[in-house]
Structure 1
């Protein structure tokens, strides 16, 4: 059955691959984008997840087009790298507002209709850096590790209504976001990865789609690594 799927930050990288995976499975997919244009073939919604009104409007637009959101993938995220002693307050808070608060805001909005329907799937896209830490990324790591507490708290709150809440933690994935990673740092991360390679957005998308499907109906509160083994056990 075709479901209504809302993906934040779905116009490129991991988000776009996730959108394509759901569309290929026959789902009705809406993607949000803060900058740029909506990807061809998808219903795009301009949305800044840090703005409560923009977030509300995005959910309403998706519902008006396809019906109540049944699957949310909270993928929107930013980086503002810098060493902690010189990192500006706004660079820290902006990252948390987008990556963590924005994810919570979208989940809160869609959970209302999911509770009424007694069915829903919420998947947060985190990062292995939230658990390993990374020099120059105290803000990013804090925001991504915070998603674990959010995931597990919402899993408790929503589980009785047949709503699962899970999180994926990608490792080093070939997207625009890692273009700024130095060759030295990339080599270090690959050396810490048992599979000895970077991953693809498609490999993340397949795991997200599984968590949103019937095959994962008894999986909730999980943090699923998609990183070739980097940081295993974290």
Structure 2
């Protein structure tokens, strides 16, 4: 069995190594660049090269390329220490999640900025008392009734705390998991929201680790208002 890359994939890998090497020259620390290497400028360069949304469907603005092609590109970039953290979560997780579970309106609103490398995202999941056990999280999102007590709500109010939220200090948006039904079973009653990180009531506190990096953050939500159409799905 032949495990070598095809000539086309090898050329793509060589190109990505060269791009990553140049970008890493400006980085003080190259290790864990997918977490600590923030650079909006480099994120936009990735977009210009067609290296964001590589595997996304073409009709959603993506490249329609194979998972192996994406793997080859990002293996090379990370090996060189290129600052890919700004677009990492959005490209790898948020975009595909919105395409699978979000509405078309949500895709139209947020995917273009992800694919162009102009927005940064974080994931609000882990909590102090729950760790990454999603079923144990306590951050709440309470529905705000519409006018005259109508059946349609006009939004949500979020309260709680997240921790170990990578990139929160630089994020424009948070993909937040919150409890919307406290009476449901622990693994149920959870919903996912897109939250504007500039919204009133959000406080971000970077956590300095032993290496001197501060990509981890605590995020506090105090009566944060989230529009109804930011509920995913």
TM-score, normalization by structure 2: 0.27
Max Rg structure: 2
TM-score, normalization by structure 1: 0.27
